[in-house]
Amino acid sequence: MDEQLCAEFCKEYTRRMNELRMQHNSSLSGYRAELAKLERETQQIIRSISDGVPGAMLKA
């Protein structure tokens, strides 16, 4: 096997894996932010129900 070709393959493989890892981490970060937002909204709805807000008002 040609050493230069092997080195080039390793370099490109590492670059691509890093690119995929960054995309994955970016997506994961977005999903975590969305989850936190939904959890806050859920807690807000629960508080509203506990405080006696009519269900019809919660739809808005």
Domain ranges of the chain: 3-53
- pLDDT at position 5 is 95
Residue the block writes with tokens 């629960």: 46
Residue 17, number of CB atoms within 10 A of its CB = 10
pTM of the model: 0.58
pLDDT of residue 49: 87
Residue with tokens 């092997």: 6
Give the mean pLDDT of the chain. Answer: 90
How large is the average pLDDT for residues 14-27? 94
Tallying the residues shown for the chain, one arrives at 60
